[in-house]
A and B are shown apart, each in its own frame.
Chain A
């Protein structure tokens, strides 16, 4: 079954620093800008929620038609060690089918020191890892090694 998913990392000044279409659905030309529009608009909701919640993982905060936006907001002081700057937002646009494992997907990415502050992430290695992770979170548990860090995850049971 084809799924749609678009993963982006957005820096604190709303500049996208990494972007990947990780779904299995065949690519459509208009999808690229549509996904950007949806994720961009969802930033408003993230901003809104940031005042009211201290949670970092914001599941399904916004939706457009059957596409759902989940966001992981980093808090600077915790993740500084991982070189992800304050209030960087990892956004995933996905269809509602694959609700599970999204959080672990985020966490796996977060555990990887990837970010060169202020710049776009251009590492092809990171790219392949993200795509591999996106494929793998369908499984209930597993592990992956990214940048020398072994990451284990367990999918929360439904």
Chain B
């Protein structure tokens, strides 16, 4: 037999399954013993454990062996009963609660790392109270009637020497009802050996009376069974025992009392000897004897083939009446009970072979009887016996499983036994290292009782941890299950312990729901215990729970804020997850010499500004090369190498926050964190003057930033409410107050009053807006460091009344307002506008223009001056030399605005200025403003010019106007030709063709005008189109109209139109005021100007001709024909000498020359025709037109000098009266000396000319 104590289960079994001795004392005995703070049983208990008793025993088959270690269990008769369930439950709860409180201290420490746990071989981290708890659980089902090892093997009757009539007392013990129910109801053999003990207290006097009583007893009960026990020999209560043998047992003693204080060493020796004698001389021999007797009985009745058959047959018969199976079916003298007693006795005396054979025998019987509880009990014992025999592990496990499931099957009455059986089974599995299976068994033990289940599940989790390889996830999961159950039973501390241990598995897990659940529960429980600081640590973990449902997020947030409030502390959390800072969105705008008028201007590319300012600002490279230059001295290298900002001017930072939740969360006091240092060198991270960097855990004190440094800089604070899932850009600014170095370290916000989140910027991640040259120079410097230089004047500019939406062509007077907030005046201002088509600078001296009357034509008009001025400042506008802008006196510059083309337009405007103070590092600055306009379409104007066929040097102009707006009416005002070269006039009165005078949305208007080229100074260049002729005509030769026209001309210019004769038109109209606008505030009239430039008057051919004759000719036809003289005037408008050949065709009349051609013909000639010619070449029907012939030469050639006119005479002969179309002629022209091959020669076809011949009466 291997060393039985080696395994936990062996030790446990040898402790638990040992003979029970029933003790029946008188009250006086108890009283005497209590002097020592001990009960009688407690007094004896330490001496019931024998480590080297060395008792010889014989097995049933006379095999001798010796027992070395042994133990007796002593119980009062009143305790030998099934423990009360309620009492047991309470006691177990107490055990758990005590254990929970004991661990209080280390509950708040960080859980030890899991690696350390799993490597340590033996479970020192497994709470020790588990053993105790398990023992209590096992004991809760002791003294069951279905098993015999709890049945007392002996009975001690104890009477004090002070008792009156002690003999009677002994006798009375058995007459009264003090005996345990097991004995009374027949489950146990009442005829157990009895021992009569007389206890004498030496303090009561000499033991004389005692010896007398003993003698009397011996006479009555027989000499062998009577003992005398003297106690309390120590007189002075000073008996000291080191170590105190009662310490583990004296539970009910008051703490101050010294256990066993009256028992001196002699007493102890006596007690020891007494128990030893009792065991070795009486109990063990008795049990041995009993085994022999029972074994013989069993052999006689059950062993052997005949008995087997008989037994089987007999049991078969019983099967018909299973209801008889009552409690008393197996009384102590039934053969089954006797076998069980035999087995248990053999087990207790460690004759496992004998025990096993009897259990086997019994197990079949019970199975046949369907006595399941007894069957399970026997199976359980079989399993244990197998285990003790260290034989077939498989059989042992099978029996245990069988017993376990059988216990479970019989319902509530078997539950306790099932638990005990399970615990033994678990120990068995643990012994063989099957931790995984053990965990499974633990899991099965956990039943409905939540508290027990919690403990079992926790034990299961440790089994998973101990299994090889360790199953950490299972460990975690079972801890969580156990924790939940602890919580259910209000064992918060245990729950926290379980969860905290689980946390070592789940720390940093990506399984989001697990992560949230664990942290949320722990946080909540810590808060319940009042440990808000620890609770907060866990609650912070669940803030970014974007994967949770909205309801859960609300719950999380509610609890989070509740706990935060109760904490009463202020938290500073680095990289707080609520809201999430989108660091890539960070943009910092610092203004050095470049200042921006609006945020929109900041976002414009630097290159745009640079190209705009190119000519205006002093070149940086130039400044460097000339060493004498003051500027290069004043711009030290550090200025060029680091970001510069000016004291008193805001450093603007934009950063976006994302709300990961579905709830809307407000954040307060969003502000920048900055560091300031007055010296030139940047502060180190560890220097005392700098603000502390955020450490990894995230709790730092940032009090200095906001409070003490206000004199150096001021940070703006904004409050934002982030809707669920929203990303919001926060615009923050910091204003440095003093020269030095400012570093932007991060952003800070308040989630609530006591929850402050901050985010420290890492300069590596920041893409910042810096100019290209600068970026090269400062690779190694921190982009978040700013050199603060002395306060400088800074202009702020705004264009007053600039509309955001405007109709195309609208002309408005505006003003640019420049303000200087600093004491130092600025001078030497220059300005440049990116789109002079849109914005024009007015006369700086005339501020209050009376619009629109200032546009009207005045007599005498002084033209030229304005125009000249604008022409010079085409690129850069220089303010008048004496312009100095001081504080409190804003400077106004009139501007003219005209929207040109529909669409979105970006206007850039940059103002250059220098400050008077020469000591500052920056001499000049620029103000950049950016304006975005939306221009809507208004009127579309187009012109078609065709030469007048009836006049030389005159043109017919068709003007098409369409109102493209959707709502607004337009009133046409005037049409002007710009310049004084062209005179225009209406062909027809405008009142006829356009009586209403209002162009409603979508309406189109065409009108024809006559255009005449004149060279006089007083040319009528304007045509009044309005209905009310009383209004004044606008002067198109004055600013701003002429200026805008100038830029329009530049814009509309195309290269090949240069050498052609062109005319420019300007249509001025007025928008009707809409009805929606309240009329009480006087709005200035909406004046529109539309420009059409470079309208070419020259046609493709340089040759003009005119056929002239009387239209009607009267003839008497006396000569049977009539001759009509025609005069053709030919004009050469080109600058070359032209040769013109006139061809006339007689037949067929009306047919065009090209019409004669058959088959292939030259297509290239067709485009040479102009539009007016096409209609005339329609074939005229032969029937309607009588023939006529051209008389005279059919070909005439003339040569024309440049810009000269020639006349050619032609003759037509008709033969009958009628109307004739004299269009069948061509003019072939060619330019001599012309280089342009395209316009070198061409053919013109005759225009219709109708001649009517009437017969003269």
Where the two chains meet, the residues of A that have a C-beta atom closer than 8 Å to any C-beta of B are 14-16, 29, 32-33, 35-38, 40-45, 47-48
Decide if B517 touches A43 in the complex (CB within 8 Å): no
Inter-chain contacts of A45 with B (CB < 8 A): 471, 474
Can you name 5 A-B residue pairings with CB atoms under 8 Å? A14-B510, A29-B549, A35-B513, A36-B514, A40-B473
Since A40-B476, A44-B471 are in contact, a sample of 10 more A-B pairs with Cβ atoms closer than 8 Å, ordered by chain A residue number, is A16-B511, A32-B548, A33-B513, A40-B511, A41-B476, A41-B478, A42-B473, A44-B464, A44-B473, A44-B474
Q: Is the CB of B473 within 8 A of A41?
A: yes
What are the residues of chain A within 8 A of B478 when measuring CB–CB? 41
Contact between A40 and B514, CB atoms less than 8 A apart: yes
A48 to B473, alpha carbons, bound, how many Å?
12
Question: In the complex where A29-B549, A29-B552 touch, is A36 in contact with B473 (Cβ < 8 A)?
Answer: no
Collect the chain B residues with CB atoms within 8 Å of residue A32's CB.
Answer: 513, 548
Distance A133 CA – B1183 CA, assembled complex (angstroms): 87
Q: A40-B473, A44-B473 are in contact. Are A33 and B517 (CB under 8 A)?
A: yes
Inside 8 A of A33's CB, which chain B residues have their CB? 513-514, 516-517
B510 adjacent to A16 (CB under 8 Å): yes
- Distance from B720 Cβ to chain A, minimum over Cβ atoms (Å): 28
User: A15 touching B516 by the CB < 8 A rule?
Assistant: no
User: Within 8 Å CB of A48, what residues of B?
Assistant: 469, 471
In the A-B complex, list the 7 residue pairs whose CB atoms are closest, starting with the nearest.
Answer: A41-B477, A33-B513, A44-B471, A33-B517, A36-B513, A44-B473, A15-B510
- Tally of B interface residues using CB under 8 Å: 22
| Docked pose: A48 CA to B476 CA in angstroms | 16
Question: Which DSSP category, helix, strand, loop or mixed, fits chain B's interface?
Answer: helix
Query: In whole angstroms, what is the CA distance A35 to B476 when docked?
Result: 14
Say yes or no: B473 contacts A43, CB within 8 Å: yes
| B450 vs chain A, min Cβ distance (A) | 15
Q: Tell me, yes or no, whether B861 is within 8 Å of chain A by CB.
A: no
Using Cβ atoms and an 8 Å threshold, which residues of chain A touch B552? 29
- Distance of A44 Cα from B505 Cα, bound (Å): 12
Tell me how far the C-beta of B310 lies from the nearest C-beta in chain A, rounded to whole angstroms. Answer: 47
Contacts of B438 in A (CB 8 A): none
Q: Which residues of B lie under 8 Å from residue A41 when comparing CB positions? A: 473-474, 476-478
Asked whether B511 lies within 8 Å of A36 as measured between CB atoms, the reply is: yes
Residues in chain A near residue B674, CB distance under 8 A: none
Q: With an 8 A cutoff between CB atoms, is B472 at the interface? A: yes
- Which chain A residue lies CB-closest to B510? A15
Minimal Cβ-Cβ distance residue in A for B506: A40
B 468-485 contacts with A by CB, 8 A: 469, 471-474, 476-478, 480
Given contacts A29-B549, A29-B551, A29-B552, contact A37 B514 (CB under 8 A): yes
Complex interface: chain B residues within 8 A of A14 (CB): 510
Q: Residues of B contacting A44 with CB < 8 Å?
A: 464, 471-474
Q: Using CB atoms and an 8 Å cutoff, list the residues of chain B in contact with chain A.
A: 464, 469, 471-474, 476-478, 480, 509-514, 516-517, 548-549, 551-552
Nearest-neighbor residue (CB-CB) of B518 within chain A: A33
| CB closest residue in chain A, given B436 | A48
Min CB gap B433→A, angstroms: 15
> CA separation between A47 and B474, bound complex, in Å?
12
Q: How far is the CA of A44 from the CA of B436 in the complex (A)?
A: 11
Complex Cα distance A40/B479, Å? 13
A30 CB, min distance to chain B CBs, angstroms:
8
Return chain A residues, CB-CB under 8 Å to B511: 16, 36, 40
Q: Is the CB of A40 within 8 A of B551?
A: no
Residues on B with C-beta less than 8 A from A15 are 510
A37 contacts B480, CB within 8 Å?
A: yes
Which among A29, A37, A38, A45 has the highest number of chain B CB atoms within 10 Å? Answer: A37
Interface centre among B469, B511, B512, B516 (most CB of A within 10 A): B511
Cα–Cα distance between A41 and B473 once the two chains are bound (Å): 5
Chain A contacts of B476 at CB under 8 A? 40-41
A67 to chain B, nearest CB (A): 12
Smallest CB gap from A44: residue in B: B471
Q: How far is the CA of A33 from the CA of B551 in the complex (A)?
A: 15
Q: Which residues from chain A contact B509 at a C-beta distance below 8 Å?
A: 40
Contacts of B551 in A (CB 8 A): 29
Cα separation A38 to B511 with both chains bound (whole Å): 12
Interface contact A38-B477, CB-CB below 8 Å: yes
Tell me the complex Cα distance, A127–B474, Å: 29
Q: Given the complex of chains A and B, what is the CA–CA distance between A28 and B799 in angstroms?
A: 61
Tell me, rounded to whole Å, the shortest Cβ–Cβ distance linking A5 to chain B.
16
Chain A residues in 8 Å Cβ range of B471:
44-45, 48
Q: Which residue of A lies closest to B480 (CB)?
A: A37
* Closest CB in chain B relative to A129 CB, distance in Å: 21
Chain A residues closer than 8 Å to B513, beta-carbon distance: 32-33, 35-36
- Between A36, A42, A44, A48, the greatest number of chain B beta carbons within 10 A of the residue's beta carbon is seen for A44
With a CB–CB cut-off of 8 A, which chain B residues contact A29? 549, 551-552
* CA distance in complex: A43, B475 (Å): 12
In angstroms, Cα B550 to Cα A140, docked, is 38
How far in angstroms is the closest Cβ of chain A from B519? 11
- Report the separation of the CA atoms of residues A44 and B478 in the bound assembly, to the nearest whole angstrom: 13
CA distance A124 to B514 in the complex (A): 24
B509, B510, B548: which has the most chain A beta carbons within 10 Å? B510
Q: How far is the CA of A44 from the CA of B473 in the complex (A)?
A: 6
Expressed in whole angstroms, the minimum distance between the Cβ of A68 and any Cβ of chain B is: 15
In the bound complex, what is the Cα–Cα distance between A14 and B512 (angstroms)?
12
Closest to A31 in B: B513
Give B86 Cβ to nearest chain A Cβ, in Å.
Answer: 29
Distance in Å: Cβ of A76 to nearest Cβ of chain B: 21
Which residue of B has the minimal Cβ distance to A32? Answer: B513
B472 to chain A: closest residue by CB: A44
Using CB atoms, name the residue of chain A closest to B505: A40
Q: B521's closest neighbor in chain A, by CB?
A: A33
In Å, the complex CA distance between A66 and B860 comes to: 105
Query: In the assembled complex, which residues on chain A have CB atoms less than 8 Å from the CB atom of B548?
Result: 32
- Minimum CB–CB distance for B117 against chain A, Å: 16
Give the docked Cα–Cα distance between A37 and B517 (Å). Answer: 10
Expressed in whole angstroms, the Cα–Cα distance for A47 and B473 within the complex equals 11
Which residue of chain B lies nearest to A43 when distances are taken between CB atoms in the complex? Answer: B473
CA A141 to CA B40, docked complex, whole Å: 79
| Chain B, Cβ-Cβ closest to A11 | B510
Chain A residue numbers with a CB within 8 Å of B510 are 14-16
In the bound assembly, the distance between CA atoms of A40 and B515 in angstroms comes to 12
What residues of A have a CB within 8 angstroms of the CB of B464 in the complex? Answer: 44
| Bound: A15/B514 CA distance, A | 12
A38 and B477 alpha carbons, distance in the complex (Å):
7
- Taken together as a complex, chains A and B put the C-alpha atoms of A59 and B549 apart, in Å, by 31
User: How far does the alpha carbon of A48 sit from the alpha carbon of B474 in the complex, in Å?
Assistant: 12
Residues of A contacting B474 in the complex (Cβ-Cβ under 8 angstroms): 41, 44-45
Inter-chain CA distance A33–B509, complex, in Å, is 13
Query: Contact between B477 and A37 (Cβ–Cβ < 8 Å)?
Result: yes
In the complex, what's the smallest C-beta–C-beta distance from B92 to chain A, in angstroms? 25
**C-alpha gap A43/B469 in the complex (Å):** 13
Residue among A16, A32, A47 with the most chain B CB within 10 A? A32
Closest Cβ–Cβ distance, residue B518 to chain A (whole Å): 9
Distance in angstroms from A113 CB to nearest chain B CB is: 23
Q: A44 vs B468: C-alpha distance in the bound complex, in angstroms?
A: 12
Q: How many angstroms between the C-alpha atoms of A75 and B472 in the bound complex? A: 24
Q: B329 to nearest A CB, angstroms? A: 38
Complex interface: chain A residues within 8 A of B477 (CB):
37-38, 40-41
Closest beta carbon of chain B to A37's beta carbon, Å: 5
Q: How many whole Å from B222's CB to the nearest CB in chain A? A: 63
Q: Which residues of B contact A37 (CB under 8 A)?
A: 477, 480, 514, 517
- In the complex, how many angstroms separate the beta carbon of B1026 from the nearest chain A beta carbon? 63
**Minimum C-beta distance from B321 to chain A (A):** 39
Per the bound structure, the CA–CA distance linking A14 and B473 in Å amounts to 11
Q: Which of B469, B474, B552 has the most CB of A within 10 A?
A: B474
